[in-house]
Amino acid sequence: MSFIVAIDGPAGAGKGTITKMVGEKLGLVNIDTGATFRCVALNMLQENIHIDEEEKIKEILEKIDIQMEHDGTIHLNGEDVTKRIRENDVNNFVSPVSVLPIVRNKLLEVQRKIAEGKNVIMEGRDIGTVVFPNADVKIYLDATPEERAKRRVLQNKEKGIECSYEEVLQGIKDRDKRDSTREIAPLKRAKDAIYVDTTNLSIKQVVEKIIEIIENK
């Protein structure tokens, strides 16, 4: 038996930071499903594979190896890509890649397997709706696009990645639109998910709120 906390929401809502902190405090394994989509997008960029080359995508999916270490390091086919998957070319390519049914089917399998038999806090877009519809706790984290862009720019700066606010804001708006209008597993709040608007809350306040929600279950 495993205990599953599903955290869904748009890019930059704070899912990554919050999930990590809540996971550490409550002893839950933290799983970032966006990173798995980013790995597929990066692998396609490395191999020069176009979005409509289904056969070639199938081939890389058959042999892809994605490892998530406890310290947050992500390895793609043996290479440390933790920083690389946050760069702009991957940011811009990952949303169309995440729409592809073959990619989603493969990663659904990967994500369920990673959580098997563990107590996890898993963040993504469709965790409470598709990956774990029977999750013990479901939370939908949100914030305005402008606030989310501000946070992404700051986060990138800390990681040494230079980017402009306008570029990031436009990227966020484009991704929101694509993520919520795609046919398979769109970004949407599960009926039984608790909605948390983080626009005017500090990280500490959000973490406290979520821990309270989990502990009350």
Contact positions vs ligand DC (CB under 6 A):
11, 33-34, 37-38, 94-95, 98, 124-126, 175, 179
Kindly state the DSSP code that residue 193 receives in the 8-state scheme. P
Compute the least distance from the CB of residue 155 to ligand DC, in Å: 11
- Cβ atoms of 98 and 85 within 8 Å: the answer is no
Q: Among residues 28 and 99, whose Cβ is nearest to ligand DC?
A: 99
Which residue from 1, 217, 10, 8 is spatially nearest to 121, judged by alpha carbons? 8
Q: How far is the CB of 92 from ligand DC (least distance, A)?
A: 10
Minimum separation from the CB atom of position 175 to ligand DC (A): 5
Nearer to ligand DC, 43 or 98 (CB): 98
Strand order in the sheet with 79-80: 66-68, 74-76, 79-80
* 28 or 85: CB nearest ligand DC: 85
- Residues with Cβ within 8 Å of residue 117, at least 6 apart in sequence: 1, 2
Residue 69 identity: E
Q: How far is the CB of 95 from ligand DC (least distance, A)?
A: 4
User: How many C-beta atoms surround the C-beta of residue 136 within 10 A?
Assistant: 13
The helix (H) or strand (E) run that includes residue 167 is helix 165-181
CA atoms of 42 and 91, how far apart (whole Å): 10
Q: In this complex, which beta carbon is closest to ligand DC, that of residue 6 or of residue 207?
A: 6
Instruction: Kindly tell me which of 28 and 179 has the beta carbon lying closer to ligand DC.
Output: 179
User: Shortest approach of ligand DC to residue 19 CB, angstroms?
Assistant: 10
